[in-house]
Amino acid sequence: MPGPFRLTSDPDDIAIAADLLRAGKLVAFPTETVYGLGARADDDAAVRRIYEAKGRPATNPSIVHVASLEAASRVAHLDAMARDLASAFWPGPLTLVAKRITGAVCDATTSGGETVAIRVPAHRVARALLEAVGLPIAAPSANRSTHVSPTTAEHVAGSLGDRVDAILDGGAAVHGIESTIVRAIEGEPLAVLRLGAVPLAAIAAFASPRLVLDASSRIDSADVAAPAPGGQARHYAPRGRLVVVSRVELAGAVRAARASGGRVGVIAVSARSGLATDELVLGGEAAAYTASLYAALHELEGRGCDAIVVERVPDGDVWSAVRDRLRRASVPERA
């Protein structure tokens, strides 16, 4: 079992990764949010291989990654508001959805839609790779569809194995949660389609006085047409069951999970509960907690936990992306 080809973030290895991408291969690479599974966005066969590798429905479009605002302008029609947002947050963890420029990327990348999601990542290795390739790169998160996104190269290898041609290792992702997705189309109100690494308040403050619609609350619900097609209910989920409860409910929830059999893990906020051997404490500081949440889910899953009991995180905007992901991760499998 050879497994995927492992590359370091040395310039020579980045050059190899760029050659592989140009040749239509799948390369997982680090970004500041989570690892992406990349393929050239103008190559239908290459992008279709991403969907096969992830087990992702072809109807769920991928984010296009480019090295600069100028490169983004060759893929999407960015209006004044989109350009202002791009200047404020790029390079960085903001994805803009805008009208696509015909012919710039293939139909598999956008799932045949009229719009395209695009971002300029800030990660040094991602930027070097994109500059070396010189082509727009389609890259969803580098995990099997609906599972927890990878924040390390090991997570990618564990989730996708040799379904990916190479993995570029750039260390642990700093944000540890996906980009914030904002739909910015001329003549339409600005809409947040997915909460993420850029806090909602930063977008709202910036976009004022133009209205920001928080569409992310709608994409939680399975019975409403999802503005972000990937916003289906169960997502970001470990293999076992996951429940979110308040601190005082922890003991009862752990007991209930044990009663239905198997190994139970606990993720606490500020202090150990002592209720399980497999307990991880992520801390009460939002950025640090967020950066370690997916790694904690991977860790407990790797230890064989059949159920994970998560202590509810505090209220407030800085926690909203974490609350969103925990809510989706706790949706039962057969929903």
Q: Which is nearer to Mg ion, 9 or 146 (CB)?
A: 146
- If one asks whether residue 95 binds Mg ion (CB under 5 A), the answer comes out as no
145 touches, from Mg ion, ligand TXA, none (C-beta below 5 to 8 Å by class): none
Select from 41, 71, 97, 184 the one that contacts ligand TXA (CB under 6 A).
97
Cβ 125 to Mg ion, closest distance in Å?
Answer: 19
- If one asks whether residue 117 binds ligand TXA (CB under 6 A), the answer comes out as yes
Q: Which is nearer to ligand TXA, 155 or 269 (CB)?
A: 155
Select from 116, 237, 266, 286 the one that contacts ligand TXA (CB under 6 A).
116
Instruction: Give the x-and-dash track for 41-60 against ligand TXA (CB under 6 A).
Output: -------------------x
Of all residues in this chain, which one has the CB nearest to ligand TXA in the complex?
Answer: 230
Instruction: Give the x-and-dash track for 100-139 against Mg ion (CB under 5 A).
Output: ----------------------------------------
- If one asks whether residue 136 binds ligand TXA (CB under 6 A), the answer comes out as no
The 10 Å CB-count burial string (b at 16+, else e) for 36-50 is: bbbbbbbbbebbebb
Cβ 56 to ligand TXA, closest distance in Å?
Answer: 8
> HSE of 41 in the Cβ direction (CA atoms, 13 Å)?
34
Q: Which is nearer to Mg ion, 73 or 179 (CB)?
A: 179
Q: Which is nearer to ligand TXA, 7 or 250 (CB)?
A: 7
Q: Are 105 and 44 in contact (CB under 8 A)?
A: no
- If one asks whether residue 231 binds ligand TXA (CB under 6 A), the answer comes out as yes
Q: Which is nearer to ligand TXA, 170 or 231 (CB)?
A: 231
Q: Which is nearer to Mg ion, 62 or 320 (CB)?
A: 62
- If one asks whether residue 199 binds ligand TXA (CB under 6 A), the answer comes out as no
Select from 115, 204, 239, 330 the one that contacts ligand TXA (CB under 6 A).
115
Which residues of this chain interact with ligand TXA, rule CB under 6 A?
Answer: 31, 33-34, 36, 60-63, 93, 95, 97, 110, 113, 115-117, 139-141, 178-179, 181, 193, 228-231
